[in-house]
Amino acid sequence: MKAFYWLFMAVALWGATAHAKLNVVATTPDLGAIAREIGGDRIDLTVLARPTEDPHFVDAKPSFIVKLNRADALLEGGAELESGWLRPLIEGARNPRLAQGEPGRIVCSEGIHLLEIPAELDRSKGDVHALGNPHFMTDPQNGKIVAQHVAEAFCRLDKKSCDYYRANLERLTLQLDQKMIEWQRLMEPHQGKRVVTYHNFWLYFSERFGLKMDLYLEPKPGIPPSPSHLAEVMRTMTSEKVRVIAVQPYLNRRIAETVASHTGATVVDLQSFPNGSKGGGSYIEWMDSLVKSLAAALKK
């Protein structure tokens, strides 16, 4: 029994001292990808949502409570992105480092110019987001802002590695700037083209690259497609010669395919997050695959 006790104490002590790395939890894989770029090997990273699932409806698994309980920092999107599942987990985690306003609580939407903030709240228009569209990471410029935010937060939490985080931020920003020129060149010929999507997930992406991804298969946010709405979408598609339908892994591909077969459009798979089954692991690789697969589809 005594041996057990000592073993337990040893494990507890090891756990307390050996983990000099920052223990970081990110709610979604895009934020996780940024944290990985900035934190490198100085952080232990856990991402709660899987890249293929609907980020609004992640299962509040009890194991997440344990992860949050032991975290030094939490990266959340904010703007109601995780409002359906994160709060009870944080309350259950009882971790003072993640309390609202603490340096460990990194709300990534802070400092982002959020779009589509409704002037009035009316759910008869569907499930609206009172604080604006929360899918801001689809714009690489916002990715840069978040990276800077994360680097600053990591610096505050781990002053010794601050130079390291800053250097990583510099490198990522430079890479993003270089890539941005390439991405914009790829998208140049497709300015103003319309693309059909299922949900208003790509708002920031389309704003950045001059596309119009404003034709949705769902009639209102969170409301499933109805035949009459789909018929209207198809009419618009034929009259405006819309050639591309973008779908995400968690969405019903069959509906998109049906609409495509009636209108002669192509269905293109866009990963909602980095580390998806096809898109690359890093934020840049993900953005690269988004731009390239869309540009290729639009060229047809």
Partner 1 sequence: MKLLKYFGCSAILMSAAMLQAQDAAEVEQLKKKLQQLQEQFEKAQNEHQKQMKALMQQIDGLQQKQSSLTADQQQLKDQMSQPMADAAKASSLEKGRWRPSDPISLLQRDSSYLNLSLSGLFAAGGSTANDLSSLQLGGHDPSQRGFTVQNVEAVFEGAVDPYFRGQANTIFFIDRDGETVVELEEAYLESLSLPWNLQLKAGQYYTEFGRHNPTHPHAWAFVDIPLVNGRFLGPDGLRNPGARLSWLMPTPFYSELFLGVQNSHGETAFSFRSGEGHGHEGESEGLPFAFRENENDRGVRNLDDLLLAPRYAVSFDLTDTQTLLLGASGAFGPNSSGESGNNDTQIYGADLTWKWRSSRHQGGFPFVTWQTEGMLRNYRAGSFDWDEEGDLGDADGNGFPDEGVLVDASTGLPAAFSRETLTDYGFYSQVLYGFRKGWVAGLRFDFVTGSRGDYEKLPLILADNAGGGASAGRDLLRRERWRFSPNLTWYPSEFSKVRLQYNYDDRRDIGVDHSVWLQLEFLLGSHAAHKF
Residues 252-281 that bind partner 1 (CB under 8 A): 252
x/- site string to partner 1, residues 146 to 165, per CB under 8 A? Answer: --xx----------------
CB nearer to partner 1: give 205 or 243: 205
- Of 28, 36, 47, 85, the residue at the interface with partner 1 (CB under 8 A) is 85
Tell me the backbone φ, ψ of residue 214, rounded to 5 degrees: -120, 20
Rounded Cα distance between 153 and 148, Å, is 9
CA distance 244 to 277: 21
> Which residue from 1, 4, 40 is spatially nearest to 22, judged by alpha carbons?
40
Cβ-contact 59, 85 below 8 angstroms: yes
Residue 92 lies near partner 1 (rule: CB under 8 A): yes
171 binds partner 1 (CB under 8 A): no
Q: How far is the CB of 242 from partner 1 (least distance, A)?
A: 23
Q: Which helix (H) or strand (E) holds 44?
A: strand 43-47
Pick the closer one to partner 1 by CB: 19 or 61.
Answer: 61
Residue from 13, 130, 231, 296 binding partner 1 (CB under 8 A): 130
Q: How far are the Cα atoms of 34, 118, 292 from residue 295, in angstroms, in the given order?
A: 24, 31, 5
188 binds partner 1 (CB under 8 A): no
From residue 4 to residue 43, what is the string marking binding to partner 1 with x (rule CB under 8 A)? --------x-------------------------------
| Residue 66 CB, nearest approach to partner 1 (Å) | 5
- Whole-Å CA distances, 104 to 48, 80, 84, 100: 16, 19, 21, 9
Q: Does 131 bind partner 1 (CB under 8 A)?
A: yes
Among 123, 125, 278, 292, binds partner 1 (CB under 8 A): 123
Number of residues that bind partner 1 (CB under 8 A): 58
Site for partner 1 in 190-219 (CB under 8 A): none
Name the DSSP class of 57: G
Which of 21, 44, 52, 103: binder of partner 1 (CB under 8 A)?
A: 52
3-state secondary structure 106-167: EECCCCCCCCCCCCCCCHHHCCCCCCCCCCHHHCHHHHHHHHHHHHHHHHHHCHHHHHHHHH
Integer Cα distance of 73 and 44 in angstroms: 10
Interface with partner 1, residue 111, by CB under 8 A: yes
Q: Which residues would be at the binding site for partner 1 (CB under 8 A)?
A: 12, 50, 52-54, 56-57, 59-63, 65-66, 69, 80, 83-88, 91-94, 96, 99-100, 110-113, 117-119, 121, 123, 126-127, 130-131, 141-142, 144-145, 148-149, 177, 180-181, 222-224, 249-252
